[in-house]
Copies of this chain bind each other. A is one copy, B any other.
Amino acid sequence: MLRKETIPLYKKVIDDLKTAIDKGFYKKGALLPSENDLCKTYSTTRVTIRQALSGLINMGYIIRKHGKGSIVTEPKKGLGILSFAGVTAGVGDHKLNTLILQPQVKQPWPLDFFYELNKVELTKGCIYFTRLRQIDGVPVLYEETYITNINLPRFTSKKLENVSLFKTIKDHYNIDILTGEQKIWAVNGDKTVSKLLNIKTSQPIIHMKRRLQTNINDLNIYSSLYCNTQEYFLQDFF
């Protein structure tokens, strides 16, 4: 669990406001309380509050207008990582579910792994699992994930169905994604993938390889994804 003894005040402010926005307490276009109001609420000063607000700007939760206030915006879909969106704008999360095909298992890295690994990573081995994302029961994305097996006690027993992987590792191990890299191809799926996605092998699909770096040294998250973009597409805000 590794709950921090004390979390900085500005992070608490970020968390509170973020949660309030996520829960719909502040709707898109609404104004957050002014800096001075927040100062009173948290018994702190503008420097600290502004530090929090600039965090929310970076996350894409708000924009700020001189003389006006902090305006809630549509949050960025996480770090510029390509994420799903429906052809019609209004596809909500409720239609999307995640199926675990291969639950988390500790194993050595594959010999022909698609990224170069350093010594520490090779020594530690990885945790491997595969997931299938469906929208309205239709499979659209198949993902194979490898995480360096460092400081992840009991991770193999965590339930990953229908939860955000990033939120899980953040909540349980306080791991943040710092940077990342993704490579993208258009390919024809092989038999296995085509069968999982329930399409013909002649149907073009997106293939992606990702490497995400975290705030823990040598703890990286690698994944290989295949995505059927016939009815849906991949989307990216920045």
Contacts and interface: CB of A to CB of B under 8 A. Distances in A.
A101 interface: no
A182 interface: yes
Contacts of A175: none
B58 A186 contact: no
A204 B234 CA distance: 16
A39 interface: no
A187 B188 CA distance: 10
What is the interface of chain A mostly: helix, strand, loop, or mixed? strand
A136 B92 CA distance: 44
Interface residues of A, number: 32
A82 B184 contact: yes
Contacts of A54: 54
Tell which of A63, A186, A188, A204 has the most Cβ of chain B within 10 Å. A186
Contacts of A183: 85, 233-236
Interface of A: 47, 54, 58, 63, 79-82, 85, 178-188, 202, 204-206, 227, 229, 233-238
